[in-house]
Structure 1
Amino acid sequence: MKYWIYIITLVFGLSNLNAQEFECQVKVDAVQTGKLQLTIFDNLEQSLTEFVNQNSWTNNRNLKDHQKIKCSMFVNITSYEDNFFEASIQFQSSRPVFGSDISTPILNINDRSFNFNYTEFQPLNFNPNTFETNLISVVSFYLLTSLGMDADSFEKFGGTEYYQQAQQVASAGQSANASGWSSSGGSGDFNRFNLIRDLISQNFSQFREALYVYHREGLDQMHEDVELGKENIIQALDLLKENNKVRPNSLLVRSFFDAKANEVQLILNGGPEADVAAIKESLYKMAPGQNRVWKEIK
């Protein structure tokens, strides 16, 4: 298996390790429902926490705690009636930076089309080949997508198998006519089905290559050579610029900067000097929604 975790596991030796891949904090907020006295919200939070952290989402991955993917899910319930929930989900994941004690964000998504049915104490079981519930499908989709992006950040195109599994989940949700899975649906211009379609598409191969260059050849190198690491991060931004020329205003590029804007600003302002004028011009074009952050680059 090519994925980096396998190599790390061999280096450190095998022992009786947990097979779970995520260390995820889950929060369910039901303030807007006005029904905080109901226990179903606490039960949902506990069930989701166990579903994410106690399941094994990949094959042959025995991880120590420091190797697990850190993530958080904030589920905001806006309406609840007869076991039907209207909600949004904020999903964030990160991975460690080599040679440091910091983490870098990988995925930051705010999905406002998260409607589902759930009954108290209902077991949550994931089957990649069938649609069970929208609750299970949406959460599983983001876990698999974050696994893919994490893998891409350690090995060029290392996340393909996870993206393919996430696409299976999306296709099953679309076939079931479940909320938020239509290729033309979603809230605003965000769409789950299109997100995973683009991650698998050859049209976005430069985006995926940029994930590797930015993280493995950029951030992970900075503990040894700050100048080289910064140069490679600028190279990754150039790859994103080229991808943006072919597919302007894409969801993927915007999602990247939703997670990375503040980090990019700090990197460009710190360390060895760089010609930031041209870089800023590209950033303004790629992610105009982050213009407030780009103005801080000097």
Structure 2
Amino acid sequence: MRNLILLFTFLCTHVIFSQELNCTVNVIAQQTGNENNVVFKTLERQLTEFINSTKWTDKTFGLQERINCSMVINVNGYDNDLFSASLQITSSRPIFNSTYSSPVYNYNDKEFNFQYLEFQNLVYNPQQFESNLISVLSFHVYMILGMDADSFALNGGDDYFNQALTIANYSQQLNGQGWKLEDGLQSRFAVINNITSPTFSEIRSAMYNYHREGLDVMSESPKDGKSQIISSLDELQKVHRKRPNSYLMRLFFDAKADEITDILSGGPSVNISEAVDILNRIAPIHSQKWRNIKY
């Protein structure tokens, strides 16, 4: 009996410590006029379990290493098992020797239409299309993993982005929005196609330098960390020169604008006037925030 208990404890520990995400899923259905329908709570519970219990990589994550993220599904209509919705995804990563978590991925997927039967089995197949529901969520899981890995190692997200691209490619068989080039510059396909392109390589190197060489060293050397963050903005400017107003740049600043404003406004004194000029040039949509930077 004792051996059985020990085996059970080991298996539970392995499950708890092997998964990669700590994801909060919320299903909001106020726009349907029937938000109290039990199917929405069932969907919320099933998706939470699916995302947090699926093994997405071949790596082992400790409990404290799991990536904190959230997915908010805003259902605007449904008919039997057909749902139309939007999906807001955010993720963050901890900063070394700090209680602060830095936002990394912030994406609003406006075309999230899917089929769902209450209590249906949700299974991810890495090489085969299962459903648009599975494909969209799995795609964003790998985007979260890739962005997080890029923030810890230069081009560390390669494997995850390649899997997101695989999902986008095999999901094109569906006539759903977001999987094809013609679906626009903000589609899932456009995002993964761009982030795996050499044209946007400086965005990925900026992710690493901003986080690993910038934020992660600020507890020991605030001035060096702040200077490195400013330096990473110059890398982003290189992308802007090649592809002005790209959606990838917008994704970066949707996650980082408030944080950059706070960092440049406080801490040790460094020359940030050039950094503010760069920000106004490459991210004018946040110009009001840049005006609030105190220097």
Pick the TM interval, shorter chain. over 0.9
Contact 1:76 1:88 in 2 (8 A): yes
Instruction: Specify the structure having the higher radius of gyration (Cα).
Output: 2
Q: For residues 221 and 82 of structure 2, what CA distance do their matches in structure 1 show?
A: 53
2:273 maps to which of 254, 259, 277 = 277
1:27 aligns with 2:23: no
In the TM superposition, what are the counterparts of 1:190-269 in structure 2 within 5 Å? 190-269=186-265
Partner of 1:95: 93
Contact 1:25 1:72 in 2 (8 A): yes
1:15 Cα deviation from its structure 2 partner = 7.7
1:17 Cα deviation from its structure 2 partner = 5.3
Q: Percent identity?
A: 45
Partner of 1:131: 129
For the aligned residue pairs, the C-alpha RMSD in angstroms reads: 1.4
Q: For residues 274 and 192 of structure 1, what CA distance do their matches in structure 2 show?
A: 38
Structure 2 residue identity aligned to 1:37: N
Q: In 2 relative to 1, CA 15–42 (structure 1 residues): closer, same or farther, beyond 3 Å?
A: closer
- In structure 2, list runs of 5 or more residues that go unmatched: 1-12
Contact 1:24 1:52 in 2 (8 A): yes
- Deviation per CA, 1:227-253: give whole Å up to 9, x if none: 000011011111011111111111111
Partner of 2:170: 172
Contact 1:134 1:179 in 2 (8 A): no
Under a length normalisation based on structure 2, what TM-score does the superposition of the two structures give? 0.92
Partner of 1:74: 72
Partner of 1:290: 286
Contact 1:40 1:120 in 2 (8 A): yes
* Count of residue pairs the alignment pairs up: 282
- In structure 1, list runs of 5 or more residues that go unmatched: 1-13
1:184 Cα deviation from its structure 2 partner = 2.0
Contact 2:22 2:69 in 1 (8 A): yes
Partner of 1:56: 55
Structure 1 residue identity aligned to 2:20: E
Contact 1:69 1:95 in 2 (8 A): yes
Q: For residues 294 and 269 of structure 1, what CA distance do their matches in structure 2 show?
A: 10
Q: For residues 170 and 15 of structure 2, what CA distance do their matches in structure 1 show?
A: 35
- Deviation per CA, 1:238-292: give whole Å up to 9, x if none: 1011111111111111100000000000011111223222212211221122112
Q: For residues 259 and 88 of structure 2, what CA distance do their matches in structure 1 show?
A: 19
Partner of 2:3: none
Give the structure with the higher percent helix.
2
